[in-house]
């Protein structure tokens, strides 16, 4: 139980995010109105996505330094969860855009760059499936993962700021400043960021343990087959 306190915290924070996000009062901002509640889901998911993808890169670097199979497993699973959060972030962002910009997809630079970034990570998983040799797959995908993350950050944080954009905080369009992010929003927003990020870590760690367990079973089966032969 001592080692699982953060899982209890995750459940509590996400429960609080859902209930508080839907029930607590929010400021009546121009155009946004009630849709500002999506701030508790769309933005924290992308915070979590970036942190999960960064963790994946750290494990890729560790693999290149050690050739430890477990580091490659962790890198791929954290990337997988990060991409899941990215897709959920795109979907919630599209819903928000429908009510504030008038359409689900308006060709906004932030939307376009985010979609390109997601496709880069889909290519990462296709690349992993293209190699039968375990070490070759791990080495090449680790290198790809590192460069993909750097390019992804440029795509979603740098390039949209250099052009006109409807997205808050990009292209001269103001973001959620100190006036908008009042105490009402902060009461749920910060717990939501922590909760969604911890959920991503939890999901990734479960998937890593599952992969390791399957790998051990496969090794035992191979050993039994060799023994019977």
Write out pLDDT tens, residues 118-141: 999 999 999 999 998 989 999 999
More confident residue, 175 or 206: 206
- As a whole number, mean pLDDT of residues 41-60 equals 96
More confident residue, 90 or 2: 90
Q: Which of 135-149, 162-176, 204-218 has the highest mean pLDDT?
A: 135-149
Spatial neighbors of 162 by CB under 8 A, at least 6 apart, are 171
In a domain, 214, yes or no: yes
Which percentage of the chain shows pLDDT scores above 90? 57
Q: How many domains does the chain have?
A: 1
- As a whole number, mean pLDDT of residues 51-69 equals 96
Q: Is residue 42 over pLDDT 60?
A: yes
In a domain, 22, yes or no: no
In the block, tokens 């609080």 appear at 16
CA distance 15 to 179: 27
In a domain, 222, yes or no: yes
In a domain, 28, yes or no: no
pLDDT at residue number 171: 47
In a domain, 2, yes or no: no
The whole-model pTM stands at 0.88
Domain extent for 121:
33-228
Task: Answer for the pair 90, 115: CB distance below 8 angstroms, yes or no.
Answer: yes
In a domain, 21, yes or no: no
More confident residue, 56 or 100: 56
Residue 31, Ramachandran bin (φ over 0: left; ψ between -120 and 50: alpha; else beta)? left
In a domain, 215, yes or no: yes
Closest CA to 12 of 213, 202, 205: 202
Q: Is residue 11 over pLDDT 90?
A: yes
In a domain, 57, yes or no: yes
More confident residue, 215 or 180: 215
């Amino acid at each position: 139980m001592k080692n699982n306190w953060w899982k209890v915290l995750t459940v509590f924070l996400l429960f609080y995010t859902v209930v508080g996000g839907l029930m607590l009062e929010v400021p009546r901002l121009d155009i946004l109105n009630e849709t500002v509640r999506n701030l508790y889901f769309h933005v924290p998911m992308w915070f979590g996505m970036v942190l999960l993808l960064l963790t994946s890169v750290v494990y890729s670097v560790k693999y290149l330094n050690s050739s430890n199979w477990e580091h490659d497993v962790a890198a791929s699973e954290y990337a997988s969860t990060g991409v899941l959060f990215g897709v959920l972030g795109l979907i919630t962002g599209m819903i928000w855009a429908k009510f504030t910009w008038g359409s689900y997809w308006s060709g906004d630079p932030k939307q376009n760059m985010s979609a390109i970034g997601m496709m880069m990570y889909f290519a990462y998983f296709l690349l992993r499936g293209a190699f039968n040799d375990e070490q070759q797959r791990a080495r090449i995908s680790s290198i790809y993962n590192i460069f993909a993350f750097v390019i992804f950050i440029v795509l979603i944080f740098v390039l949209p700021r250099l052009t006109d954009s409807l997205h808050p905080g990009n292209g001269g369009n103001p973001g959620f400043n100190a006036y908008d992010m009042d105490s009402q929003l902060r009461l749920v927003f910060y717990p939501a960021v922590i909760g969604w990020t911890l959920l991503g870590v939890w999901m990734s760690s479960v998937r890593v343990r599952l992969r390791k367990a399957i790998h051990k079973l496969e090794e035992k089966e191979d050993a039994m087959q060799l023994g019977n032969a």
